[in-house]
């Protein structure tokens, strides 16, 4: 009798939504600790002194729920690990121009690069928390992540050296980031996704200088298959 009761308690902990989960797409993937995968596209803009920088990215993301529901008050939810690959990465910056600088109290004008920068990116670490919800359709989440960008020219644009290329930055940049979002299930094992990420772009001083993009806001739209 004790074994049967214990088994029942474990089962109820693993499937907190009970019998109704059969017609509840959110509960189905939560209880099954499902894999998710699908395409996405990002549009973004820099903020502050990079507000004239725009971004467009397209790629593929995958993830896997790693735990059952963990109870932590209003933070009750489920931990997921994911990663993405972005073979199409573009940043649109102001056209090459002359810019005034001040160095050691002296002012001068120098050429600065610009235009469209193309590359590829990957985010091998996405740590996501899926909140427990009673909704049948909506699964909200928040996440922290870290990635890497390679661009065909040194990014961001900087003062040009005599050969006409930015001389102080790097073709490699890192992308620590964090954001919030949700899955909206259109039917079982299919969802439309919306996310908003704050992304910092920095070369970690791989170049002579590290001007970076201190902050950008990226809006992500995607479509997910669950298995």
Higher pLDDT, 107 or 226: 226
**Model's pTM, two decimal places?**
0.84
Q: What is the pLDDT of residue 166?
A: 62
In the chain, domain spans: 23-93+116-156+174-205+215-226
**What is d(CA 113, CA 94) in angstroms, rounded to the nearest whole number?**
8
| Other C-beta atoms lying within 10 Å of the C-beta of residue 28 | 18
User: Tens digit of pLDDT for each residue in 35-82?
Assistant: 999 999 999 999 998 999 999 999 999 999 999 999 999 999 999 999
- For 191, what's the count of Cα atoms within 13 Å in the CB-facing half-sphere? 26
For residue 167, what pLDDT band results from cuts at 50, 70 and 90?
Answer: low
Say which CATH class 23-93+116-156+174-205+215-226 falls into: mainly beta
Rg (C-alpha) for the chain, rounded Å, is 22
Beta strands at 138-155 and 170-174: parallel, antiparallel or unpaired: antiparallel
Q: How many whole angstroms separate alpha carbon 30 and alpha carbon 23?
A: 13
Whether the per-residue pLDDT at 154 is higher than 50: the answer is yes
* Cβ proximity of 181 and 195 under 8 Å: yes
User: Could you tell me which residues come within 8 angstroms of residue 164 by beta carbon, excluding any fewer than 6 positions away?
Assistant: none
Q: Is the pLDDT of residue 86 over 50?
A: yes
Nearest to 133 by CA among 12, 25, 3, 210: 25
Q: What digits encode the pLDDT tens for the residues 173-196? A: 999 999 999 999 999 999 999 999
């Amino acid at each position: 009798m004790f074994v049967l009761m214990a088994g029942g308690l474990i089962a109820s902990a693993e499937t907190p939504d009970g019998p109704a989960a059969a017609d509840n797409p959110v509960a189905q993937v939560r209880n099954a600790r499902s894999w998710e995968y699908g395409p996405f596209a990002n549009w973004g803009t820099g903020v502050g002194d990079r507000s004239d920088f725009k971004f467009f990215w397209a790629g593929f993301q995958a993830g896997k729920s790693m735990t059952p529901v963990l109870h932590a008050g209003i933070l009750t939810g489920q931990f997921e690990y994911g990663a993405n690959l972005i073979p199409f990465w573009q940043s649109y910056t102001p056209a090459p121009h002359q810019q005034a600088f001040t160095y050691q109290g002296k002012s001068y004008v120098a050429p600065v690069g610009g235009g469209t920068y193309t590359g590829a990116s990957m985010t091998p670490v996405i740590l996501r928390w899926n909140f427990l919800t009673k909704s049948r359709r909506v699964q909200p989440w928040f996440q922290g992540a870290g990635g890497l960008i390679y661009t065909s020219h040194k990014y961001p644009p900087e003062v040009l050296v005599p050969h006409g290329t930015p001389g102080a930055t790097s073709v490699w940049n890192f992308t620590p980031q964090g954001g919030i979002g949700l899955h909206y299930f259109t039917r079982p094992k299919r969802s439309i996704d919306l996310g908003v990420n704050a992304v910092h772009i920095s070369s970690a001083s791989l170049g002579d200088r590290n001007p970076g993009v201190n902050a950008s806001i990226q809006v992500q739209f995607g479509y997910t298959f669950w298995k």
